[in-house]
């Protein structure tokens, strides 16, 4: 056995052991939300009894007061939960259009070696995630599967579990730095940051994406991270006997049966419906006109108001209209949204609990206390690294970037204010920590596991390798990369 084979086997065995342990002991994300509620409740109760933190003015002291804060906060972020749901569902609907699949098949024929196949899937996933995380979540998984199929046909010995990791890299690295990143986009509306002292610090019109997503700092960090991650993936790609073909996970007869049947239907045959009601439901004209109208208006807002118009509502409206424009058939588009509803169930259930946790933290004074601890532990130079680490650790409990923002946003922004760190700089550092540790959190990988037919323990070994490799790189980038010097606007 060669040294390369030994290295690949060691990485794989270590990864499988870690992933098996996680799979056996890690509770569901919903249970984590419940556990975190208890942790925050008792932490606030203890610190309050010790006099370290103070209840909000006019609030009830003791356990009853904390329960009141929990209840008051529980439904504060219904609009935000709906925004996150729509992001996921519009991405799902776009990714499953047959034309999108046809493009992926053509791209899958480009690579001629295993490392090229792995890197192409990863670069595609990371680039698309910067545009729309919901789109990348589904499309990255589909591309990994299609690449595995094409590689099997061409006789390329590509390791299918690593292809799955590549398809997940968008959610594991770049999504929160991009156009649908929940934390930076919530800053565009100062009323969405959450209750607490940070609310009064932000300008009335919030922080535009020119100071976060479209800032040279975020763009530079994204490009450099994609390059570095691609180099690591290229280096660790096994080949030969170490590579496991897609047919070890999905039967060959099942893989290629869709091609024999003509592929997935796009629902346009429903336009032949006989009744007037069915003709209206499947009207290509009605769907196309409203899609063009909505999509055109998004361009109009961006032309007249510039990038300052880009917020979560514009993101969702634009992709909702784009989906209708691509599908054209309203009935087929509605059916795809029905299929996406299952994937959005976690957001709908978990976000009220995250909002309740944020209510306890703000009302009890715990958020302010955390901000003070961060300030004491940081300098203006080290704060981005500290914010990254705090977000990374919290991601183990709150697997949603938006949900994390409800809890961490106010204290992080308050700490940034105290240290003289730009709000946009702090938000992007937080976003890096949240996205990076998705590589060890199976919550968002559930759709990918279903599409690729990979088990968590079979892919998360390599995901952990990527996490470890990226950690020193991101730490150095966050410490050394200048924010103000990279401003574009």
Structure confidence by residue, pLDDT tens digits, 314-326: 888 988 998 888 8
- Does residue 373 share a domain with residue 285? no
- Does residue 218 share a domain with residue 98? yes
Give per-residue pLDDT as tens, 232-257. Answer: 999 888 877 778 899 999 888 877 76
Q: Give Cα separations from 164 to 101, 117, 121, 158, 330 (angstroms).
A: 17, 11, 9, 11, 32
The count of other CB atoms within 10 Å of the CB of residue 420 is 9
More confident residue, 173 or 28: 173
The answer on pLDDT for 2 being more than 50 is no
- Mean pLDDT over 327-332 rounds to 84
- Does residue 426 share a domain with residue 284? no
Is there a domain that residue 201 lies in? yes
Q: 395: closest CA among 365, 335, 440?
A: 440
Is there a domain that residue 418 lies in? yes
How does the average pLDDT of the chain come out, rounded?
82
Tokens of 208: 């535009």
Q: 159: closest CA among 245, 270, 275?
A: 245
Tokens of 61: 């002291």
Among the listed ranges 257-271, 359-373, 403-417, which one has the minimum average pLDDT value? 257-271
Give per-residue pLDDT as tens, 14-62. Answer: 555 655 565 566 566 678 778 889 998 999 999 988 888 876 655 566 8
The count of other CB atoms within 10 Å of the CB of residue 195 is 19
- Does residue 366 share a domain with residue 323? no
Q: 291: closest CA among 87, 94, 80?
A: 94
Q: Answer whether 152's CB lies under 8 Å from 186's CB.
A: no
- Does residue 229 share a domain with residue 91? yes
Is there a domain that residue 57 lies in? no
The answer on pLDDT for 101 being more than 90 is no
pLDDT band at 195 (very low <50, low <70, confident <90, very high): very low
The reported pTM is 0.78
How far apart (Å, rounded) are the C-alpha atoms in residues 250 and 7? 26
Residue where a domain stops, chosen among 338, 359, 386: 338
The answer on pLDDT for 181 being more than 60 is yes
Q: What does the pLDDT read at residue 192?
A: 55
Is there a domain that residue 449 lies in? yes
How far apart (Å, rounded) are the C-alpha atoms in residues 405 and 434? 9
Is there a domain that residue 164 lies in? yes
Domain containing 302: what range? Answer: 278-338
- Which range has highest mean pLDDT (9-18, 65-74, 339-348, 455-464)? 65-74
Residue where a domain stops, chosen among 320, 338, 356: 338
How far apart (Å, rounded) are the C-alpha atoms in residues 181 and 10? 35
The answer on pLDDT for 443 being more than 70 is no
- Does residue 348 share a domain with residue 299? no
More confident residue, 370 or 151: 151
- Does residue 282 share a domain with residue 380? no
Q: Using CA atoms of 163, 165, 171, 174 in order, give the dihedral in degrees to the nearest 10.
A: -80
The answer on pLDDT for 378 being more than 50 is yes
- Mean pLDDT over 117-130 rounds to 96
Q: What does the pLDDT read at residue 5?
A: 46
- Does residue 173 share a domain with residue 32? yes
- Does residue 145 share a domain with residue 82? yes
- Does residue 299 share a domain with residue 216? no
Q: What does the pLDDT read at residue 273?
A: 47
- Does residue 362 share a domain with residue 301? no
How far apart (Å, rounded) are the C-alpha atoms in residues 461 and 14? 7
Is there a domain that residue 49 lies in? no
Q: What does the pLDDT read at residue 479?
A: 95
Only one residue has tokens 């329960």, namely 67
Longest Cα separation, the chain: 73
DSSP per-residue string spanning 206-266: ---GGGTTTSHHHHHHHHHHHHHHHHHHHHH---GGG---GGGTS-HHHHTHHHHTTS---
User: Residues for the chain: how many in total?
Assistant: 489
Is there a domain that residue 440 lies in? yes
- Does residue 298 share a domain with residue 405? no
Residue where a domain stops, chosen among 338, 357, 379: 338
**What total number of domains does the chain contain?**
2
How far apart (Å, rounded) are the C-alpha atoms in residues 192 and 76? 9
């Amino acid at each position: 056995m060669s040294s390369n084979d030994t290295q690949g086997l060691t990485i794989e065995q270590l990864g499988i052991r870690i992933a098996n342990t996680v799979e056996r002991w890690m509770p569901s994300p919903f249970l984590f939300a419940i556990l975190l509620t208890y942790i925050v409740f008792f932490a606030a109760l203890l610190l309050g009894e010790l006099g370290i933190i103070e209840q909000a003015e006019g609030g009830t002291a003791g356990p009853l007061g904390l329960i009141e804060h929990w209840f008051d906060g529980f439904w504060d972020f219904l609009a935000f939960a709906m925004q996150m749901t729509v992001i996921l569902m519009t991405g799902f609907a776009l990714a499953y259009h047959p034309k999108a699949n046809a493009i992926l098949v053509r791209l899958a024929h480009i690579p001629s070696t295993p490392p090229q196949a792995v890197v192409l899937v990863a670069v595609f996933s990371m680039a698309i995630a910067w545009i729309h995380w919901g789109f990348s979540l589904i499309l990255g998984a589909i591309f990994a599967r299609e690449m595995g199929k094409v590689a099997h046909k061409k006789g390329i010995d590509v390791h299918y579990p690593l292809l799955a990791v590549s398809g997940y890299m968008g959610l594991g690295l770049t999504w929160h730095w991009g156009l649908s990143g929940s934390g930076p986009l919530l800053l565009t509306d100062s009323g969405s940051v959450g209750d607490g002292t940070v609310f009064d610090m932000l300008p009335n019109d919030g922080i535009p994406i020119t100071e976060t997503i479209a800032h040279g700092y975020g763009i530079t960090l994204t490009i450099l991270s994609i390059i570095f991650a691609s180099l690591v993936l290229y280096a660790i790609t096994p080949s030969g006997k170490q590579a496991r073909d897609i047919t070890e996970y999905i039967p060959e007869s099942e893989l290629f049966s869709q091609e024999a049947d003509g592929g997935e239907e796009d629902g346009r045959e429903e336009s032949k419906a006989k009744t007037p009601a069915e003709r209206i439901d499947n009207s290509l004209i009605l769907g196309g006109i409203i899609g063009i109208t909505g999509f055109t208006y998004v361009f109009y807002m961006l032309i007249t108001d510039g990038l300052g118009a880009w917020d979560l509502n514009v993101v969702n409206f634009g992709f909702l209209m784009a989906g209708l424009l691509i599908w054209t058939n309203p009935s087929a588009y509605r059916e795809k949204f029905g299929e996406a509803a299952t994937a959005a169930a976690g957001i709908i259930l978990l976000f009220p609990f995250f909002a309740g946790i944020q209510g306890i933290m703000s009302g009890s004074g715990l958020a302010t206390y955390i901000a003070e601890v961060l300030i004491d532990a940081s300098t203006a130079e080290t704060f981005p690294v500290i914010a990254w680490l705090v977000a990374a650790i919290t991601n183990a409990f709150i697997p949603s970037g938006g949900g994390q923002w409800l809890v961490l946003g106010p204290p992080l922004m308050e700490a940034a204010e105290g240290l003289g760190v730009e709000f946009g700089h702090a938000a992007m550092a937080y976003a890096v920590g949240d996205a990076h540790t998705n590589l060890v959190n199976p919550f968002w990988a559930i759709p990918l596991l279903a599409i690729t037919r990979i088990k968590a323990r079979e892919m998360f070994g390599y995901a952990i390798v990527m996490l470890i490799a990226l950690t020193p790189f991101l730490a150095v980038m966050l410490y050394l990369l200048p924010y103000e010097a990279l401003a574009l606007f």
